[in-house]
């Protein structure tokens, strides 16, 4: 099958491209990008707008639309195996393509934990059978995510894991984290840190401060995150390992990363999530469990620092930390509700607000949501780019069209979002992933 997308404004930071062109896709690969009307295969019929490609081919007219490389989401919880009532590989990737995401990294806190090559292979098999987009498993750093003994990182890497993390939990033991980073250096593997000092967080359920006191809830200080960000930067310096800090939520973390990068510490990268630059702790007022996340939503000062960190390049990546939960789990006591937001279907719209607010240019946004994560994960030959030969993963977006978020319409099983009812714009109209075309508008 071949596909021609015409009249598209293509934004592809991986080749510094922002121009109106046609794209030719063949056999699930980008074949070429050329001036509008200039026919592929060297036939040179430039300017003929009526022209359609040879028989059997398909054409999408993307006039007035934006075409960008498919989004690469480094931080997603697909919940399978073990928690299929929250989400499955099938429903999670359906949510992904609805949100313009064509590659997801799935975190290992499933049941069983993805800490052996057998589980990694199970996920990859299911991904081929049931996934709407590409899936790249993240393996556990430690066996059972218990933080005690390193898992079989090398074997899982060989089985297809693209990174390692105990996400959901920190690796509290500094020596274990040191060993993981040392090993990561030898095999050029990425270690993703869920930065949280558990003893300082001490069972807190929201940001520590006046609001927590008023609500009678136990708070988590910003320092619970920052202590671990500082520790892991120090360990990356010690080992030369490849460190990526997940879901940065505080001004102090941004500053630690900024100074570490200025110092030229090995290879450190960091991500934040749309909720950390869109809303504050006020969102949990009224004991709204759909705004309960870990790390917790912080203050307006933190939100501004995160935005500044995105703007100046301290924060490299926007990921969702898509964490779907069942309705019943989120509707009980705030204290007992599991943390997390179902984020795949609102991520791009929320992030586009950064462009409206002049925090990022559209190029920088695409860089942080597609090209950069692909590069960090070692996938930049096939993902996060529209260069000829890359996978034909792309999104066609009507950037002006507004819509109202309706959680009950989510493809994800998780309807847990504090953004229900929000007005957003720039929802993907067409997503192309794994050679399939998904059209909504």
What are the residues binding Zn ion (CB under 5 A)?
A: 167, 194
What φ, ψ does residue 372 adopt, rounded to 5°? Answer: -65, -50
Instruction: State which residue, 88 or 272, has the beta carbon closest to Zn ion.
Output: 272
Q: Between residues 120 and 165, which has the closer beta carbon with respect to Zn ion? A: 165
Contact 184, 242 (CB under 8 A): yes
Burial of 56 (0-12, 13-18, 19+ CB in 10 A): exposed
**Cβ nearer to Zn ion, comparing 194 with 427:** 194
Phi, psi torsion values for 396, nearest 5 degrees: -110, 125
> Looking at beta carbons only, is 31 or 194 nearer to Zn ion?
194
Alpha helices by DSSP H, listed for 81-218, are 89-98, 117-130, 153-159, 174-187, 198-201, 210-215
Nearest to 316 by CA among 263, 402, 245, 400: 245
Shortest Cβ 109–Zn ion spacing (Å): 9
Residue whose C-beta lies closest to Zn ion? 194
Beta carbons within 8 Å of 196's beta carbon, 6+ residues apart: 169, 170, 224, 225, 228, 294, 295
User: Shortest distance, CB of residue 310 to Zn ion, whole angstroms?
Assistant: 19
Nearer to Zn ion, 119 or 273 (CB): 273
Computed on alpha carbons and rounded to an integer, the radius of gyration of the chain in Å comes to 21
DSSP string, 284-300: GTTT-GGG--SSPP--H
Choosing from 321, 335, 391, 393, which is the catalytic residue?
321
CB atoms within 10 A of CB 394: 30
Number of other residues whose CB lies within 10 A of the CB of residue 296: 26
Active site residue 321: yes
Tokens 């960091």 correspond to: 270
Nearer CB in complex with Zn ion: 167/367 = 167
Question: How many whole angstroms separate alpha carbon 268 and alpha carbon 232?
Answer: 10
We find the least distance from the C-beta atom of residue 167 to Zn ion, in angstroms, to be 4
CA atoms within 13 A on the CB side of 319: 33
Please give the distance of CA 160 from its chain centroid, rounded to a whole number: 18
Which phi and psi (to 5°) does residue 175 adopt? -70, -40
Least Å distance, CB 232 to Zn ion, is 13
| Calpha distance 256→260 (Å, rounded) | 6
CB nearer to Zn ion: give 293 or 359.
293
Min dist CB 376 to Zn ion, Å, is 17
Spatial contact of 369 and 351, defined as CB atoms under 8 Å apart:
yes
CB of 294 to Zn ion, least distance (A): 6
User: Closer to Zn ion at the Cβ: 126 or 194?
Assistant: 194
Q: How far is the CB of 237 from Zn ion (least distance, A)?
A: 23
Based on CB atoms, which residue is closest to Zn ion, 341 or 359? 341
Instruction: Report, in Å, the least distance between residue 247 CB and Zn ion.
Output: 5
Could you tell me the smallest distance in angstroms from the CB atom of residue 92 to Zn ion? 16
Question: In the structure encoding, which two tokens stand for residue 197, read together?
Answer: 């000092």
Sign of the alpha-carbon torsion through 93, 99, 102, 106: negative
Which helix or strand (DSSP H or E) is residue 303 part of? helix 300-311
In the sheet with 134-139, reading across from the earlier edge strand, the strands are 71-76, 101-106, 134-139, 163-165, 190-193, 242-245, 267-272, 317-318
Distances (CA, A) of 219 to 222, 252, 291, 296: 10, 17, 14, 9
Catalytic residues: 321
């Amino acid at each position: 099958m071949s596909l021609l997308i015409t009249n598209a404004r293509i934004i592809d930071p991986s080749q510094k491209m922002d121009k109106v062109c046609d794209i030719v896709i063949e056999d699930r690969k980008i074949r070429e990008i050329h001036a509008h009307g200039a026919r592929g295969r060297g036939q040179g019929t430039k300017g003929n707008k009526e022209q359609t490609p040879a028989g059997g081919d398909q054409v999408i007219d993307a006039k007035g639309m934006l075409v960008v490389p498919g989004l690469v989401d480094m931080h997603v919880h697909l919940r399978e195996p073990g928690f299929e009532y929250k989400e499955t590989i099938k429903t999670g990737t359906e949510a992904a393509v609805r949100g313009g995401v064509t590659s997801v990294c799935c975190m290992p806190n499933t049941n069983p934990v993805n800490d052996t090559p057998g589980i990694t292979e199970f996920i990859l098999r299911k991904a081929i059978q049931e996934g709407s987009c590409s899936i790249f498993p993240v393996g556990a750093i430690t066996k059972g995510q218990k933080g005690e003994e390193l898992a079989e990182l090398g074997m899982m890497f060989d089985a297809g894991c693209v990174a390692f993390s105990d996400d959901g939990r920190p690796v509290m033991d500094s020596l274990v984290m040191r060993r993981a980073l040392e090993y990561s250096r030898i095999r050029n593997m990425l270690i993703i840190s869920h930065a949280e000092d558990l003893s300082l967080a001490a069972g807190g359920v929201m940001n520590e401060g006046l609001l927590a006191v008023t609500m009678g809830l136990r708070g988590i200080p910003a320092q619970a995150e920052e202590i671990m960000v500082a520790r892991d930067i120090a360990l990356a310096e010690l080992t030369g390992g490849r460190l990526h800090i997940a879901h940065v939520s505080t001004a102090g973390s941004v500053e630690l990363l900024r100074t570490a990068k200025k110092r030229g510490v090995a290879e450190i990268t960091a991500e934040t999530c749309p909720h950390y630059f869109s809303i504050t702790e006020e969102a949990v007022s009224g004991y709204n469990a759909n705004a309960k996340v870990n790390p917790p939503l912080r203050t307006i000062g933190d939100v501004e620092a995160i935005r500044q960190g995105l703007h100046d390049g301290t924060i490299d990546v926007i990921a969702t930390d898509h964490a779907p939960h069942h309705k019943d789990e989120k509707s009980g006591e705030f204290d007992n509700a599991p943390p997390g937001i179902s984020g795949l279907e609102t991520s791009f719209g929320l992030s586009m607000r950064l462009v409206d607010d002049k925090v990022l240019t559209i190029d920088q946004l695409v860089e942080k949501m597609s090209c950069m994560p692909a590069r960090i994960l070692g996938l930049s030959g096939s993902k996060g780019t529209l260069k000829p030969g890359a996978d034909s993963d792309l999104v066609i977006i009507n950037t002006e069209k507004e819509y109202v978020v309706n959680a009950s319409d989510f493809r994800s099983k998780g309807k847990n979002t504090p953004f229900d009812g929000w007005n957003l714009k720039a929802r993907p109209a067409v997503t192309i992933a794994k050679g399939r075309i998904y059209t909504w508008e």
